[in-house]
Amino acid sequence: MSSKKDTANEPVKQETRQFKAEVKQVLDIVIHSLYTHREIFIRELISNASDALEKMRHEALTLESYTDKDAPYEIKIETDKDNHTFSIIDTGIGMTHSELTANLGTIARSGTREFLEQLDNREALDSEIIGKFGVGFYSVFMVAGEVRVRTRSYRPSAKGYEWVSDGVGEYTISEMDGLPRGTTIILNLKDDAHEYEDETTVKDVITKYSNFVPFPILVKNEKVNTVQAIWLKSTSEVTDDEYTEFFKFISNSVEEPLSRLHMSSDAPIQLSALLYIPAMNFEQFGLMKLKPSVNLYCRKILIQQHTDKLLPEYFRFVHGVVDSSDLPLNISRETLQDNLIFRKLGKFLTKRVIRHLDDVAKNDREKYNGIWEKFGMFLKEGVVSDFDNRKELADLLRFRSSKAEKDEYISLKEYADRMKEGQKDIYYLYGRSREEIENGPYVGTFKKREIEVLYLLEPIDDFVMTSLTDYDGKKLISADSADIELPPVETEDKEAEQKPTLSASDIKGLASWMKDTIGDRVKEVRESKRSMDRPAIIVNPDAAMTTTMRRVMKAAGRDIGIEGEKILEINTSHPLITRLKKLRDGTADKGFLQSCVLQIYDNALSEAGLMDDPKTMVERVYTIMEKALESAEKK
């Protein structure tokens, strides 16, 4: 096949042209306000060079002849500290005179005025701008006082040209002999941009933005981009060692990841992603709040590092890369527009990460328990904050429980699957430790009935449960709630069941007197239907504000009005309560008996974790002890 002919490539010795007014405006925007970091110019130049090489590789498949057929496909970067220059050379497709004029005389071939209108409206330009001369190229004027572009097309009869401009008012195009195929761009660096003469600085920028460009990038003949973009490969083409090494590269970690998700999709959006669950959680130790660690790429070029809106904040522990050529980007490629496609990508990735964690939980219990211990707190955040995915996240929650071994975790599904016949609700209780919960006043009545109770051991857990409200149609109820309906204790000896020894009228009178004695500190005093060994317990009448949540919020310094909102339930078969009733009906010291009632209330309050200041209670204990000792002396 013959090579293509460039009919617009007319011979030109030298010509000088003025930038159009719109182009001057664009240059001013690019140089002074479009990019946040000046180092971006290196990424833009490499993107252009990579695109030119890709086009050349494609053309080579269909051409019988073209210039410099044996030239390697590579990008070279050279710096000169003596002359303060930065140069980038590619062996790509090159440009004819007409292409040079079109590419550097307009904005990404879209029309200068159209681009400015889009920029003024803050509309996203198509991602095709990546890899084309245009706005990206003009970023060089942030660091260069003068720019020279030397280029020759791959076409056998093509001439070489040099484009020169200071980016102010005009540019010059002249013929140049002896140029190889491709493009060389030479920047005369400004006085405040000499840092880009330093090879280390240049290599760092390449590693940050362009490490996965598919062509070798050489700095003083040393290849810089040594890591492959393995996320674009098939899973069958990547070894476990390669996955691990890539994780260590992107995370600066020496640990192996706990899990990985390698995926690709064409719908609802084209993407490739490689995400990792790391082995360490520094936030767990209070050292720092983790920052998002997923980097966003477009065709292997870094668009945004540590993307903070791609995955929800509770997935900030996830490391990895996401690559999509479908993303509409703003012109600097540094900030994504708030658009439907980006939101759709975020929702899709979020659900895939949740599904991956669920798959791990189902297929490798031990591995998932390790993930839960490190990052369970984040998943709890998700249950509280992410309404759309709350149901799926609920399946990922893990708990200790009254029927599980000490170091065993169970899920809500496992709890639901082994609920007793006739049991309608799922019960839970918060405490600072398993021992505190089991030694407290609430669990015993459930154990006697062989009803499982989930143990919540972290302050956020109560908020998680109240956010869920139910699971699989079963209500989630705190074991310290007031209106709990429990079946009778199953026992062979029915007479052994706990029965009140006081009549209904006795109980009513005693409860009323105790309520009057305690006053407004309690909402109600009533007989307890629970079987327990305590004389009394505090229960919570408000399902939306459990006693344990009140304790957590009070510890956080929030005034939530605990006083007057509690119910004191008394065990009418307990000796302390029956004796209290007997003495009240006799001639005993009424002041002493009232002190005992207040002490019973404060003891229950203390066991519920709601005692604020024990000073009054301690003084009362001493008074009661003194009375008891006086009575003993009289005997």
Query: What digits encode the pLDDT tens for the residues 190-229?
Result: 999 999 999 999 999 999 999 999 899 999 999 999 889 9
Residue 554 lies in a domain: no
Residue 135 lies in a domain: yes
Residue 491 lies in a domain: no
* CB 403 within 8 Å of CB 446: no
Alpha-carbon gap, residue 548 to 453, rounded angstroms: 15
Domain check: are 435 and 290 in the same one? Answer: no
Alpha-carbon gap, residue 64 to 58, rounded angstroms: 13
Domain check: are 198 and 52 in the same one? Answer: yes
Q: Which of 515, 378, 524, 575 is nearest to 458 (CA)?
A: 378
Domain check: are 503 and 445 in the same one? Answer: no
Instruction: Supply the CATH number for residue 65's domain.
Output: 3.30.565.10
Q: Determine the pLDDT at residue 106.
A: 54
Domain check: are 468 and 616 in the same one? Answer: no
Q: Determine the pLDDT at residue 135.
A: 64
Residue 208's contacts (CB-CB under 8 Å, 6 or more residues apart) are: 302, 305
Residue 565 has pLDDT above 90, yes or no: no
Q: Please state, rounded to an integer, the average pLDDT across all residues of the chain.
A: 84
Instruction: Supply the CATH number for residue 318's domain.
Output: 3.30.230.80
Q: Determine the pLDDT at residue 30.
A: 67
Q: Which of 35-49, 66-80, 144-158, 421-435 is the least confident region? A: 35-49
**pLDDT class for 500, splitting at 50, 70, 90?**
low
Residue 389 lies in a domain: no
Q: Determine the pLDDT at residue 275.
A: 98
Residue 5 lies in a domain: no
* CB 258 within 8 Å of CB 371: yes
Domain check: are 55 and 193 in the same one? Answer: yes
Q: What percent of the chain clears pLDDT 70, i.e. is strictly above it?
A: 83
Residue 31 lies in a domain: yes
Q: What are 143's two structure tokens?
A: 């660091």
- How long a stretch of residues is the chain? 635
pLDDT tens per residue across span 74-110: 999 999 999 999 999 999 999 999 888 877 765 434 3
Sheet with 293-298, side-by-side order of all strands: 259-265, 271-277, 319-323, 293-298, 301-304
CA dihedral 456, 457, 458, 461 (to 10 degrees): 0
Alpha-carbon gap, residue 465 to 456, rounded angstroms: 9
Per-residue DSSP letter, 30: I
Q: What percent of the chain clears pLDDT 90, i.e. is strictly above it?
A: 51
Q: Determine the pLDDT at residue 339.
A: 67
Q: Determine the pLDDT at residue 353.
A: 98
Q: Which of 498, 562, 506, 565 is nearest to 535 (CA)?
A: 498
> Looking at 457-565, which runs of residues are DSSP E strands?
470-471, 474-478, 524-527, 536-539
Helices 21-29 and 112-120, axial angle in degrees (round to 10):
40
Q: Which domain holds residue 249?
A: 230-365
The mean pLDDT of 409-416, rounded to a whole number, is 97
Q: Which of 397, 430, 390, 425 is nearest to 413 (CA)?
A: 397
Q: What are 69's two structure tokens?
A: 């057929």
Last residue of a domain, one of 167, 191, 223: 223
Of residues 20 and 76, more confidently modeled: 76
Residue 477's contacts (CB-CB under 8 Å, 6 or more residues apart) are: 425, 426, 427, 428, 484, 543
Q: Is the peptide bond before 180 cis (omega within 30 degrees of 0)?
A: no
* CB 212 within 8 Å of CB 303: no
pLDDT tens per residue across span 103-159: 776 543 433 444 445 544 433 333 333 334 456 788 899 999 999 999 999 998 899
Domain check: are 453 and 586 in the same one? Answer: no
**C-alpha to C-alpha distances, 108 to 28, 61, 130, 159, nearest whole angstrom:** 16, 26, 9, 23
Residue 325 lies in a domain: yes
Instruction: Supply the CATH number for residue 630's domain.
Output: 1.20.120.790
Domain check: are 198 and 66 in the same one? Answer: yes
Domain check: are 472 and 604 in the same one? Answer: no
Q: Determine the pLDDT at residue 126.
A: 35
Q: Which of 323, 226, 201 is nearest to 274 (CA)?
A: 323
Q: What are 561's two structure tokens?
A: 């009005």
Residue 420 has pLDDT above 50, yes or no: yes
The mean pLDDT of 519-528, rounded to a whole number, is 91
The mean pLDDT of 221-248, rounded to a whole number, is 94
The mean pLDDT of 392-419, rounded to a whole number, is 96
**pLDDT class for 50, splitting at 50, 70, 90?**
very high
Residue 307 has pLDDT above 80, yes or no: yes
Number of domains in the chain: 4
Domain check: are 277 and 199 in the same one? Answer: no
CA 48 to chain centre: 33
Domain check: are 206 and 239 in the same one? Answer: no
The mean pLDDT of 556-580, rounded to a whole number, is 78
Q: Determine the pLDDT at residue 301.
A: 85
Domain check: are 83 and 176 in the same one? Answer: yes
Q: Which of 503, 523, 490 is nearest to 582 (CA)?
A: 503
Residue 4 has pLDDT above 50, yes or no: no
* CB 90 within 8 Å of CB 127: no
Last residue of a domain, one of 223, 249, 276: 223
Q: Determine the pLDDT at residue 123.
A: 37
Of residues 205 and 14, more confidently modeled: 205
Domain check: are 66 and 112 in the same one? Answer: yes
Instruction: Supply the CATH number for residue 455's domain.
Output: 3.40.50.11260
The mean pLDDT of 482-490, rounded to a whole number, is 78
Residue 376 lies in a domain: no
Last residue of a domain, one of 205, 223, 241: 223
Q: Determine the pLDDT at residue 171.
A: 87
Q: Determine the pLDDT at residue 124.
A: 37
